[in-house]
């Protein structure tokens, strides 16, 4: 076997696999609640997967299983072919609320990760400046988070995440608190950073258009317990200009098709909550 052949299986191993995963919780009343049932998902290396589903269906629980913060009740979660075992340094996160330290300047916030990992101060600072330049924040290094707009804080957050070179990026509605225009700008930023990073992404959102604009694949989940209802490949060529593609015929067709599928689950979840 040549060295190249020996490497092939590893190269083909997906970045993330959830195999027939179920996750049950005990409710405060002591009842068993199944948040996720027979959930199977594969994220190839470098792939961008978006996950949409009705509110409360189990999207965040899915991310927690990938991080190792939650353990499956049955089934298996693998990263690069290996069972998840605790918090993995290859994973980066982005949540709805950013994780900026309010008492630290922008550059100190971005340097925090590398410094924590033992990178010397000069190198960490130079890297942080370079990442701030990539997200268009040169000149804001000495500002504090409260002196920035919501969109600028998100840019700092992205720099703070990408500076650590994550191989896997888990994003839980990271842009949902932003206004629509800023959100589109952040989509462009994210796609630019992601395409040069090669990271594998799981992006959870309520916003179907956001999912289609960003992802290679959209997973539609059922109303809880979450299981995979459908998987839609998004064959819109890259690089994508997010502000433009949403007006294209194919984008609108994809939105209609996937929404028809998602709408049933949203209605079901709404009726269940109302009952
Ligand atoms: N630690 C926990 N203990 C008990 N129940 C939990 C726990 N974590 C989540 N759940 C329940 O599991 C279900 C799925 O929750 P989850 O947060 O994963 O949904 P979600 O799809 O991310 O929600 P949303 O769309 O509102 O953000 C919910 O019914 C929730 O109440």
Q: Rounded mean pLDDT of 60-72?
A: 91
Interface predicted TM-score (ipTM) of this complex, two decimals = 0.94
The protein residue with its alpha carbon nearest to ligand 1, atom 3, reads 25
Q: Rounded mean pLDDT of 160-166?
A: 94
Both tokens of residue 180?
A: 């629509």
DSSP secondary structure string for all residues of 18-47: EEEEEEEEE-TTS-EEEEEEEEEEEE-TT-
Query: pLDDT class for 11, splitting at 50, 70, 90?
Result: low
The protein residue with its alpha carbon nearest to ligand 1, atom 6, reads 25
Please state which of the ranges 79-83, 101-105, 267-271 shows the lowest mean pLDDT. Answer: 267-271
Residues 154/173, Cβ–Cβ less than 8 Å:
no
The dihedral sign for the CA sequence 176, 273, 39, 75: positive
Site residues for ligand 1, CB cut-off 6 Å: 25, 27, 33, 35, 53, 55-61, 224
DSSP secondary structure string for all residues of 179-223: -HHHHHHHHHHHHHHHHHHT-EEEEEES-HHHHHHH-SEEEEEPS
30 CA to middle of ligand 1, Å?
16
Nearest to 190 by CA among 177, 209, 171, 207: 171
pLDDT for res 106: 97
pLDDT for res 6: 47
Nearest to 91 by CA among 60, 64, 52: 64
pLDDT for res 235: 96
Query: pLDDT class for 5, splitting at 50, 70, 90?
Result: very low
The dihedral sign for the CA sequence 107, 88, 67, 20: positive
The protein residue with its alpha carbon nearest to ligand 1, atom 1, reads 25
Percent of the chain whose pLDDT exceeds 90: 74
Q: Rounded mean pLDDT of 79-90?
A: 89
CB neighbours (10 Å) of residue 179?
11
**94 strand-pairing partners:** 171
Which of 30, 33, 51 gets mutated to test ligand 1 (max ligand atoms within 8 A of its CB)? 33
CATH of segment(s) 3-90+168-176+198-274:
3.40.50.300
Q: Rounded mean pLDDT of 106-133?
A: 96
Q: Domain segments of the chain: what residues? A: 3-90+168-176+198-274, 97-165
> In terms of pTM, does the model score above 0.90?
yes
pLDDT for res 41: 97
Task: Fill in the DSSP letter of residue 226.
Answer: B
Which is the closest atom of ligand 1 to the Cα of 64? 18
CB neighbours (10 Å) of residue 131?
24
Q: What is the pLDDT of residues 203-252, one digit of tens each?
A: 999 999 999 999 999 999 998 788 999 999 999 999 999 999 999 999 99
Both tokens of residue 181?
A: 């225009």
Please state which of the ranges 10-14, 128-132, 194-198 shows the lowest mean pLDDT. Answer: 10-14
Which is the closest atom of ligand 1 to the Cα of 63? 18
pLDDT for res 142: 97
CA dist 204 → 53, 61, 181, 272 (Å): 9, 11, 20, 22
The protein residue with its alpha carbon nearest to ligand 1, atom 8, reads 61
């Amino acid at each position: 076997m040549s060295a190249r052949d020996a490497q092939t299986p590893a190269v083909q191993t997906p970045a993330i696999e959830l195999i027939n995963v179920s996750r049950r919780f005990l409710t405060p009343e002591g009842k068993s609640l199944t948040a996720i049932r027979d959930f199977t998902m594969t994220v190839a290396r470098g792939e961008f997967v978006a996950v949409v589903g009705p509110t409360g269906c189990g999207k965040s629980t899915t991310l927690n299983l990938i991080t190792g913060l939650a353990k499956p009740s049955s089934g298996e979660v693998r990263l690069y072919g290996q069972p998840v075992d605790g918090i993995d340094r290859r994973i980066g996160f982005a949540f709805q609320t950013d994780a900026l330290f309010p008492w630290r300047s922008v550059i100190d916030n971005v340097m925090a990760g590398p410094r924590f990992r033992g990178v010397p101060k000069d190198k960490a600072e130079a890297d942080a400046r370079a990442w701030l330049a990539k997200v268009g924040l040169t000149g804001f290094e000495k500002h504090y988070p409260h002196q920035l707009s919501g969109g600028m804080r998100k840019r700092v957050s992205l720099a703070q995440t990408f500076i650590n070179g994550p191989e896997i990026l888990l994003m839980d509605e990271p842009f949902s608190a932003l206004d629509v225009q800023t959100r589109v700008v952040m989509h462009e930023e994210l796609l630019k950073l992601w395409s040069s990073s090669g990271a594998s992404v799981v992006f959870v959102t309520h916003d179907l258009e956001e999912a289609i604009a960003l992802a290679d694949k959209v997973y539609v989940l059922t109303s809880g317990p979450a299981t995979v209802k459908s998987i839609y490949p998004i064959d819109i060529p890259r690089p994508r200009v997010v502000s433009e593609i949403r007006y294209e015929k194919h984008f609108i067709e994809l939105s209609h098709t996937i929404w028809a599928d998602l709408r049933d689950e949203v209605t079901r979840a709404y009726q269940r909550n109302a009952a």
